[in-house]
Structure 1
Amino acid sequence: MRTASPGDLDSITDLHTLARTAYYQAGGVPDVELASPGGHSSRRESWRRAVHSSDRTVMCADREGELVGILSMGPPHEADIDAATARQLYQIHVRPGIWGQGTGSALHAEFVRVLRDASLVTGVLEAWERNSRAQAFYARHGWKPDGHHRPGPGNGNYVRMRLSLDPAV
């Protein structure tokens, strides 16, 4: 596990593209919607901003010199989440083909470590409602839907989930 650097942008963008394509295709989003001409460059620019941001953290998981997972986190997006007690998990992506081998759990543990180190007690994230794999992953790690939704791709919604940490641990 290491902090991302500007030199990682192409690898991060490629991994994100592979992972999002896999889960959106599995959820029924047509390939034509996933392959927009500007999509890759837009994702790269978003990752460039995240890597250079002072209030976001981007972590990389490497295996044998290859980027296999990424984690992005920062302040909550929504005004109803108290930034004094919470951090938002923006994204965890793992290279398709190695799902279920512990990379996602290691990235998740890093997120929880950051929360605890900052004495924060709440994590918040959004998962696409048709990404049952992601929702099951987060549920196994203690996350629960909080009832908030917002529109997402393929006529589906993003479901907000929360993780409550015991402040005494």
Structure 2
Amino acid sequence: MRPATGDAALQVRAATAADLAAIAALDTGARAAAHRARFPDTPFDAPAEHARRHDAWSRVLDRDDTAALCAARHGTVVGAASYRHHDDQHRPAVMLHQLHVDPGHWGTGIGRALHTACLRAWRTAGCSRAVLDVRWHNHRARAFYAGLGWRPDPDRRPAPDATHLTLTLDLATAPVPPLPAP
């Protein structure tokens, strides 16, 4: 699938086991870059963190109930997302568990292309609502999601010492960019 960004070199597709090492590496790098501003002396991209991210994505790719997408530019994996369907107050809903972009590609439309692919899949599956948790201090991610229409979930207010904020998106009203012309 070509993304709505008009970038013919970018492809968003189902992630496979062959993408595991690349996805784990970009996830580790993205997490490290996001956390470095808050905790500059913590080695978030240490070998142990690479191993944790590799194991986590291995489990995601092995699950039948979790979808995983990756974005590749010129054949190189530069972004990934995963989500799982669930019932939310007896309505079909979806939980976006992860959406990561290699920090060297931040601001280039990769995240938006992954998000658009997710929106299309969610609507096709008949979901009416999407939710996600974002780290409270990750202002870059919070701004990204706010720009796409995500709002704080009024039913899940964070505790005063919370590290995460739950966001929600009404899939009936969320705009989905059109597919680019071939």
Q: Considering the TM-score relative to the shorter chain, is it more than 0.5? A: yes
2: CA distance, partners of 1:66 / 1:143:
29
Cα displacement (A) at 1:38: 2.8
- Aligned with 1:74: secondary structure? strand
Partner residue of 1:66? Answer: 76
The one-letter code matched in structure 2 to 1:22 is A
TM-score, length basis structure 2: 0.80
d(CA) in 2 for partners of 1:43, 1:108: 21
Q: Which residue of 2 aligns with 1:149?
A: 158
Alignment counterpart, residue 9 of structure 1, candidates 2, 17, 20: 20
Q: In the aligned structure 2, how far is the partner of 1:69 from the partner of 1:57?
A: 14
Offset of residue 32 of structure 1: 3.0
- Aligned partner of 1:131 in structure 2 is 138
Hey, which bits of structure 1, 4+ residues long, moved more than 2 A? 29-39, 81-84, 147-151
Amino acid at match of 1:51: L
1:58-97 correspondence to structure 2 within 5 Å: 58-75=68-85, 81-82=88-89, 84-97=91-104
Structure with greater proportional helix content: 1
Q: Is the 8 A contact 2:36 2:42 kept in 1?
A: no
Unaligned runs of 5+ in 2: 1-11, 176-182
Cα deviation code 1:50-84 (max 9, x no counterpart): 011100011010001111110111135xx9x4474
Tell me the distance in 1 between the aligned counterparts of 2:55 and 2:104.
26
Contact 1:16 1:93 in 2 (8 A): yes
Distance 1:48 1:84 in 2: 29
Uncovered stretches (5+) of structure 1, i.e. residues with no partner:
none
Aligned to 2:166: 160
CA contact (8 A) 1:70 1:91 kept: yes
Distance in 1 between residues matched to 2:70 and 2:129, nearest whole Å: 22
Provide the residue aligned with 1:119 in structure 2.
126
Give TM-score, length-normalised by structure 1: 0.85
CA distance in 1, matches of 2:114, 2:150: 15
- Describe the SS at the equivalent of 1:127: strand
RMSD: 2.3
Who is 1:18 aligned against? 29
* Cα distance, 1:112–1:128 mapped onto 2, change above 3 Å: same
| Partner residue in 1 for 2:39 | 29
Secondary structure class of the residue paired with 2:103: coil
- Greater displacement, 93-102 / 122-131: 93-102
What SS does the corresponding residue of 1:100 show, helix, strand or coil?
Answer: coil
| 3-state secondary structure, aligned to 2:126 | coil
Q: How many residues align?
A: 161
2:49 equivalent in structure 1 = 39
